Structure 1
């Protein structure tokens, strides 16, 4: 049976007992660890393995399992380990901040890949590092990157935020309707019965007064302290320093009081998330409140993307086009000509890196607004990238024959595709 959601799965045991039972009637959480390693070394196959990386194949609700664990171990935030959760809807800074803190403090970045038990596709990636400062309590930083659509996966960031001391929302290049959706989801999350996070920090780009006004217009719960800062987010260290300034102001403030009916907290359990013993009968397990809020990156349906790309292929001079996840560089959907095959996987990964660099440079130069389109030309070919307005972490890249393509028409077709996906 599962003893942990992230890491330490306990001593080896019969694999048949660790596998999730497929016929569970209560929909409980279960998982089977794969690719588990205990040290950074070369294994018997000559492969380098990372002791801080885990892949977990899950069934049931991972978010509910995390809530059960936190309700037991973090019922009293006054005595619980200090925790900050990063929410980065556009996926620009959170991972970079955690990596920078890991490098600066010498603490590892621990990652968990949650995978669907039928297809093994990644549902979400949870990462954590710790910050140890002289004369300060240890501070844990978490970030959950949702990779797949679905109600339960979108609740994973909410489960992390609910029992944090501070939730930092990094507002990157987002359209107004995406800002509205984010604020509505956060407002719903703070109204959940299990919400205990006393501080909510919004990190805005410079001159984003209209976003600050929208935040001020939300009716937040009285116990939630909302902080808003607008500073140039030009590097991971700049983001962290701005966040640290707010943390130094709120870390000594009273934490959210534990509910009167809550049991006394267990001994502080760091990481991983402990999960209820699955051998107990269903009626004996704690029942988590029904969640009503879901947060995560807006994910484009690959089938819908494929239908949109099919309309691009007949364009004269089109060699291939693909919809790409900007955070991972993975191709979500593709179309190409059989007589002139191109490696769209390599193109997608390279273009994702290009987009990240352009976004950082655009912010540093103060151009204002998100990056919408990037073009590159050589003597024989042209490449056009366009970020999808509704899905800022997805872009479409087209590879064109320069001698045969009407570039203005290709750009017009991309804008039409963008509107079709609204």
Structure 2
């Protein structure tokens, strides 16, 4: 019997199957130490460290253990997993919580059998709050390459009550790889985490739109926060605010009922709002029994149907406006442009502007619902520098809006709004 960060993690005894000799897990404690340190506030804090030599798959061992001990998330200890691809904030958040509470940071070093190199380091601290359930916050820092080692943080996320993905300064290709990894993870047979929180830096509209375009499982609540990540306490306060919102929501339940003849579960296109992403949109059937690797490819989005001839006719109405830089018909759920017209002599980053405007339109619609308004938002206007951005909701084509970029000095704004109304009516 081995005591670890997860409770009692038993080694697999007996002879492994001959045809599957390397898929077991063995762990031996080679060092267990407790050192007392003084934190920045003068508190005495015990630092608990354990070194484990492992063979086989440590991620699978964590999955097996959580399957047995955390099968019912309603009664299991509240667990929040931190996923920090850039390794900037997660460890600092755990240290800040340990310093504030006086509770120790427990570390588990997973070492490879034979070489004793560190595969991953798992950190945990416990947070007790008055009149609240105890929280355990986990973070896994992967130190060695390889898919087996990269699966360790995913195994921690699968049975947590909320996973916070802290997105720092990352290249676009790294963002795409991270989202592909998470898409495969949430469709894994062991996934039970009900809430996935993306913590993005300010002005990361393009990342938010990528998240909103992904086909997440219908049972998963995807939330997005765009806030300045200036300190560990700021990260934790934002994370805790979201936890207080979702902690009483139902955990991962049974899949939605399928229509006759479908084998799989339903997935919906995420509709991103200013405070989070709620699911709404097209249904896609995926086989339940397929392996996670089968879901690496992105499922194409189903856009609202629109006759291209009608879209071109609507934009022709706008093209006669004096001072028009560009105009487009935009899908509000994804920010993708369905039809467009631009002036070649004064180019505009229309794709980026449309994506940002789609997020703004969704934010206003979300706020309108919170205020109890029963009608849709008709029009949104913004002004920045020499330009006006005008968005007109297409009432007869739900999910679409007309978007115009105008020269503030040359455009008659009242006439432009009238032309947008006329263009909307021409959509049919």
- TM-score normalised by the chain length of structure 2: 0.55
CA contact (8 A) 2:187 2:292 kept: no
Q: Classify 1:158/1:293 alpha carbon distance in 2 versus 1 (closer, same or farther; 3 Å).
A: farther
Counterpart CA distance in 2 for 1:31 and 1:94 is: 26
Once the 2 structures are TM-superposed, how far is the Cα of residue 72 of structure 1 from its aligned partner? 1.0
| Higher-RCO chain (CA-CA 8 Å, sequence separation at least 6) | 1
- Contact in 2 for aligned 1:77/1:257 (Cα 8 Å): no
Q: How does 1:305-344 map to 2 (within 5 A)?
A: none
* Residues 123-142 of structure 1: pairs in structure 2 closer than 5 A: 123-142=119-138
Q: 1:117 aligns with which of 106, 113, 117?
A: 113
- How far apart, in 2, do the equivalents of 1:196 and 1:69 lie? 14
Residue pairs, 1:69-88, within 5 angstroms: 69-88=65-84
Equivalent in the alignment of 2:162: 166
1:103 aligns with 2:138: no
SS in 2 for 1:40: strand
The residue number in structure 2 matching 1:29 is: 25
Q: 2: distance between equivalents of 1:293 and 1:100?
A: 39
Aligned to 2:219: 223
SS at match of 1:142: strand
Return the alpha-carbon distance in structure 1 between the equivalents of residues 161 and 138 of structure 2: 11
Contact 1:158–1:294 at 8 Å: present in 2 too? Answer: no
CA-based RMSD of the aligned residues comes to: 3.4
Q: Residue 58 in 1 paired to residue 54 in 2? A: yes
Q: CA, structure 1 residues 170+293, in 2 after alignment: closer, same or farther (shift >3 Å)?
A: farther
Residue pairs, 1:6-405, within 5 angstroms? 6=5, 25=21, 27-37=23-33, 39-40=34-35, 52-257=48-253, 292=293
Structure 2 gaps, min length 5: 38-45, 256-289, 297-428
Q: Supply the distance in 2 between the matched residues of 1:7 and 1:51 (Cα, whole angstroms).
A: 17
CA drift of 1:134 comes to 0.2
Higher strand fraction (1 or 2): 2
CA distance in 2, matches of 1:8, 1:238: 30
Residues 218-259 of structure 1 deviation map (CA, whole Å, 9 limit, x = unaligned) = 100000111001111000000000001100000010111379
The structure number with the bigger radius of gyration is 2
Question: CA, structure 1 residues 4+116, in 2 after alignment: closer, same or farther (shift >3 Å)?
Answer: same
Displacement after TM superposition at 1:151 (Å)? 1.8
Please state how far the C-alpha of 1:34 moved relative to its aligned partner. Answer: 1.2
Counterpart of 1:383?
none
**Structure 2 vs 1, CA of residues 294 and 164 (structure 1 numbering), >3 Å: closer, same or farther?**
farther
**Distance in 1, Cα, partners of 2:92 & 2:188:** 30
Aligned length: 255
Q: Distance in 2 between matches of 1:71 and 1:101?
A: 28
Which SS does the other structure have where 1:31 is aligned? strand
C-alpha contact 1:54 1:112 (8 A) present in aligned 2: yes
Residue 95 of structure 2 contacts residue 105 of structure 2 at CA under 8 Å; is this kept in 1? yes
SS of aligned partner of 2:169: coil
Per-residue deviation at 1:9?
7.1
Distance 1:225 1:86, change over 3 A: same
CA distance in 2 between counterparts of 1:164 and 1:258 reads 17
3-state DSSP of counterpart to 2:170? coil
Q: 2 CA distance for matches of 1:56 and 1:4?
A: 11
User: Is the CA contact (8 Å cut-off) linking 2:47 and 2:105 kept in structure 1?
Assistant: no
**Closer, same or farther: CA 294–152 of 1 in aligned 2, 3 Å:** farther
1:171 and 1:195 map into 2 onto residues whose CA distance is: 21
1:330-379 deviation line (CA, Å, top 9, x unaligned): xxxxxxxxxxxxxxxxxxxxxxxxxxxxxxxxxxxxxxxxxxxxxxxxxx
Specify whether residues 224 and 7 from structure 1 end up closer, same or farther in structure 2 by C-alpha distance, changes over 3 A only. Answer: closer
1:241-284 Cα deviation digits (max 9, x unpaired): 0001100000010111379xxxxxxxxxxxxxxxxxxxxxxxxx
Residues 74 and 160 of structure 1: CA distance in aligned 2, closer, same or farther (over 3 Å) = same
Structure 1 residues 293, 231: CA separation in 2 closer, same or farther (over 3 Å shift)? farther
Mapped contact 1:203–1:230 kept (Cα < 8 A): yes
Residue 35 (structure 1) shift: 1.6
When the two structures are superposed, what TM-score results if normalisation uses the length of structure 1?
0.55
8 Å contact from structure 2 (residues 203, 226) kept in 1: yes
Q: What is the Cα deviation at residue 26 of structure 1?
A: 5.1
